[in-house]
Amino acid sequence: MENGFNGNNKKMSGKVSDDSLVNEENSGFKDLLSLLLDEGAKQEQEQHQWLTGFETFFEAEAKIEEINGFEMEEELGNSRKKRARKSGSIAGTSSTVSATSDNDGGGSGHQRRLWVKSRSKDWWEKCNHPDFLDEKFKRVFRMSKHTFDMVCEELEPAVMKKNTMLRDAIPVRQRVAVCIWRLATGEPLRMVSKQFGLGISTCHKLVLEVCTAIKTVLMPKYIQWPDEDKIKQLKHEFESIAGIPNVCGSMYTTHIPIISPKTNVAAYFNKKHTERSQKTSYSVTLQGIIDSTGVFTDVCIGWPGSMSDEQVLSNSAFHQRATMGQLKDLWVVGGKMYPLMDWVLVPYTHQNLTWAQHAFNEKIYEIEKLGKEAFGRLKGRWAILQKRMDIKLQELPAVLGACCVLHNICEMKQEEMEGELKFEVFDDEVIAENNLRSMATAQARDSIAHNLLHHGVGGAP
């Protein structure tokens, strides 16, 4: 029994050992499986954390982009708001002109829009109003309303423009007013633009167009050499003024300051004025023949400022006509800067004058003074001639010619000048190099001087 018991015990122990082995194997497998499961779970967890982090990264990037996009949108919105405010302000001061044009293909019209900056025209509308006082109008435009209307009427065929689909043409009166106000005040174009409610380039264009029209249309009518009847009248008037017979006009040459030209600078350099003012000066010349009432009967415009008065006269068309016999038995009185010629009478320029010669000079200065005062009124009325003209050389003749024509119109219409507009002309007078070119005129001058002294017309000092 013991053995059997023992035997059984051995069997039991063997079985137990087998079971324990199985259990150990199962336990090891479980541990391995558990370990594998733990590793898988760990890897899955790490992968989940990595994916979570990756998603978080993309979410952060998206958030940043969203923020940046919001900021950009906000900036864009602000920019649009600024543009809207700016366009709103422009729209407040702008007007839209629309016109319909056909498409090339279907023929259906589409709307064309032209933006035009709106400028105030209150000042001009006030001046142009019928109730605007004539005195104030004359102070602004240097002429009365009646004279201004006459100028506009004569210039209308030359300066009038037609309306277009995009805009209405500027009226003739406003075109003429722009030009005359610019000439009268000498104000820069930006001020002209402000006063008349027009663009600067438009004002510049109007000034040149109207000046050209004045020179082309009105100059042949208002600047004419006198006919025979007028010559007789002038001879009588000048003789009554100074006692010198056969005088038909007073001649004077003035300089008009300009900015430095781009070409041929030395020719326009005004040496005398530069030395006197200690400032580099350039100019063009304006020579004129004036009758007893201060009206121009002949003008020569635009020769360079480096030329002497004698040279300007020699190159003028008036000199050519005179040498061809147009001034036969007539004299034009000039200053000491002109030579004594068959048709030019000038004062004595040498020293130690006799009583008769001195008396002659006094009387001839009275005639010369008429011409100089006329140029003073010319520059006084049209202040643009007093300043350096910022106009191209090729455009100067039209502007200077227009000033001379308008001066004649005002003189003929007896438009009086305000005292504050008076201008004293000063030009450097240089005695002509060859100041004696006619012995016959020299003898005639001596005879006139003798008669003036001994007939009591000219007195000794």
Q: What angle do CA 329, 378, 407 make, to 5 degrees?
A: 80
- Across the chain, what does the average pLDDT equal? 82
Count of H-run helices and E-run strands, the chain: 15, 7
**Between helices 145-159 and 134-141, what is the axis angle to 10°?**
60
Higher pLDDT, 346 or 1: 346
Residues 6 or more apart whose Cβ sits within 8 Å of residue 395:
208
Integer angstrom CA distances of residue 143 from 151, 291, 297, 381? 10, 21, 21, 9
φ, ψ of residue 436 in degrees (nearest 5): -130, 105
Q: How far is CA 162 from CA 170, 177, 207, in A?
A: 9, 18, 18
CA angle 257, 209, 199 (to 5 degrees): 90
Q: Which domains does the chain have, with CATH numbers?
A: 121-220 (1.10.472), 225-456 (no CATH)
Q: What is the pLDDT of residues 428-444, one digit of tens each?
A: 888 887 788 889 999 99
pLDDT in tens, 174-210: 999 999 999 999 999 999 999 999 999 999 999 999 9
pLDDT in tens, 38-54: 655 555 555 555 444 54
Q: Is 400 exposed, middle or buried (0-12, 13-18, 19+ CB in 10 A)?
A: buried
| Cα–Cα distance for residue pair 223/217, rounded to 1 Å | 11
**385 CB-near residues (< 8 Å, 6+ apart):** 186, 256, 378, 379, 400, 403
- Cα–Cα distance list, 159 to 23, 147, 455 (Å): 123, 17, 56
Q: What share of the chain is helix, strand, coil (3-state, %, to 5)?
A: 60, 10, 30
Give the other-Cβ count within 10 Å of 345's Cβ.
Answer: 26
The tens digit of pLDDT for each residue in 258-279 reads 999 988 999 999 999 999 888 9
Quote the CA–CA distance of 461 and 454 in Å, as a whole number: 14
225: region left, alpha or beta (phi > 0 left; psi from -120 to 50 alpha): beta
Say if residue 67 is exposed, middle or buried (CB neighbours under 10 Å; 0-12, 13-18, 19+): exposed
pLDDT at 458: 45
Q: Ranked by mean pLDDT, which of 26-40, 118-132, 176-190 comes out on top?
A: 176-190
Dig out the tokens for 281 from the structure. 């000066």
Residue 420's pLDDT is 87
- Inform me whether the pLDDT recorded for 90 exceeds 90: no
CB atoms within 10 A of CB 269: 18
User: What is the band of 168 on the pLDDT scale with cuts at 50, 70, 90?
Assistant: confident
Instruction: For 327, list phi and psi in degrees, rounded to 5.
Output: -110, 40
Q: List pLDDT tens digits, range 400-430.
A: 999 999 999 999 999 998 888 989 998 888 8
Instruction: Indicate the range of 32-36, 86-90, 356-360 predicted with least confidence.
Output: 86-90
Cβ proximity of 286 and 256 under 8 Å? yes
The C-alpha atoms of residue 389 and residue 181 are separated, in whole angstroms, by 15
Taking each helix axis from N to C terminus, what angle separates 396-412 and 355-381, rounded to the nearest 10 degrees? 110
Predicted local distance difference test score (pLDDT) of residue 447: 94
Cα–Cα distance between 180 and 148 in angstroms, integer? 9
282-290 and 296-304 beta bridge pairing: antiparallel
